[in-house]
Amino acid sequence: MTSVARGAAVALLLAASASLATAQAPCGGDFDAWLDGVRAEARAAGVSDKAIEEGLAGVRIEPKVLAADRAQSVFQQTFLQFAGRMAGAPRLPKGLQMMKQHAGLLSEVERQYGVPAAVIVAFWGLETDFGANLGKFDTRNALATLSHDCRRPDFFRPQLIAVLKIVERGDLAPSEMRGAWAGELGQTQMMPVDYVRSAVDADGDGRRDLMRSLPDALTSAGKYVADLGWRRGEPWIQEVVVPAEMPWQEADIDIKHTVAEWRAWGVKPRNGTLFRDDAPAALLLPMGRNGPAFLAYQNFDVYRTWNQSFVYALTAAYLATRFDGAPVVSEGNAPVRALNADEIRTLQQLLARDGLLPADEVDGKLGFDTRRATRKAQIQRGLPADGYPSLEVIQALSSGG
């Protein structure tokens, strides 16, 4: 798996969990004494002493994991840049080949859980290049390292306990647990807590092996997506064409209107027809009003749960539409010039000056808070409030206009 894909897949999840991590979960200090606490917690969770000792044998702090954790950040690529890299060749033709090769299995998964083959194969392709790159970090060491570290123990310690439950069930031996630096496992990179909850023994061998058993891996992915709330028979995103003028402030990932309302504002399908009139949907403008546009239906919420990075989630959803027969995404109504890191920092400084963005978020990175603050600034100054940072917004803030 590429470092870009993995960084995107965990960056915002970890950032979000950072705000939840407190001293409630024991962390730091002598590692052996800390491991004794993990053993006690695992016993209280019903894990046998045998599985605990087997699962924790030889576990140690891994400096490379801490280095990866400290280095990770929200990647700075536009949607078109990232989607062009991740949802084109060679992944697109390879995914179409995989859909044909495993059509029977994928059809059965859809029958059971209602999740289309295109959706599962897109996750599979983005996460591990269809099982080719599962990751090389020792999962036990990675999660012990991140749990012992005091930045996010409340998020990672339950994952380490879940690893011991996986050992207890006999799904994987400790030596088989190798994956990403943040602890994800298997062909679709599940966190261990999700592995325990959603993994399925589809091939009937008595193990839920998401590393080597393709039936287990893809069936478990379907169950996991269903567990996240997938709505059978409904779309996830649809590319649309937006008018020259509309209430742009309504185009927000957290604002939903019915399809009928969007149609009344002039939103049209780029291809085919829109979903039913009463269906709720959000209008996504990943590069502002002049760039690509999508209606995101309720199933897109599953993508946001799978990965909190907006660009990654949208790319995964877009790739699934491509596997489902949609054409290459349009670049939009006009060329969009993305701000570079220095320009984003300048914009953030101006937003912070006006009290629209906390000063500690001036970092040169385009995240949700910067987009929301940009929208507020656009509304205040009578600019089209699409929430996309631009030189126009910088100029308006700089001039006091």
Q: What angle do CA 137, 141, 143 make, to 5 degrees?
A: 95
| Per-residue confidence (pLDDT) for residue 159, from 0 to 100 | 98
Query: Tens digit of pLDDT for each residue in 8-20?
Result: 444 444 444 443 3
pTM of the full structure: 0.90
Token couple for 274:
């829109």
Using CA atoms, how far residue 376 sits from 105, 245, 358, 370, 371, in Å, is 48, 18, 14, 10, 9
Positive/negative CA dihedral, 390, 392, 395, 400? negative
Query: Tens digit of pLDDT for each residue in 173-222?
Result: 999 999 999 999 999 999 999 999 999 999 999 999 999 999 999 999 99
Of the pLDDT bands very low, low, confident and very high (cuts 50, 70, 90), residue 367 is confident
Q: What angle do CA 271, 273, 278 make, to 5 degrees?
A: 140
Query: Tens digit of pLDDT for each residue in 224-237?
Result: 999 999 999 999 99
Domain layout of the chain by residue ranges: 3-73+134-227, 237-323, 341-399
Give one DSSP letter per residue of 88-101, joined into a string.
STTHHHHHHHHHHH
Sequence letter at residue 156: F
Looking at the structure, give the CATH architecture of the domain made up of residues 3-73+134-227: Orthogonal Bundle (1.10)
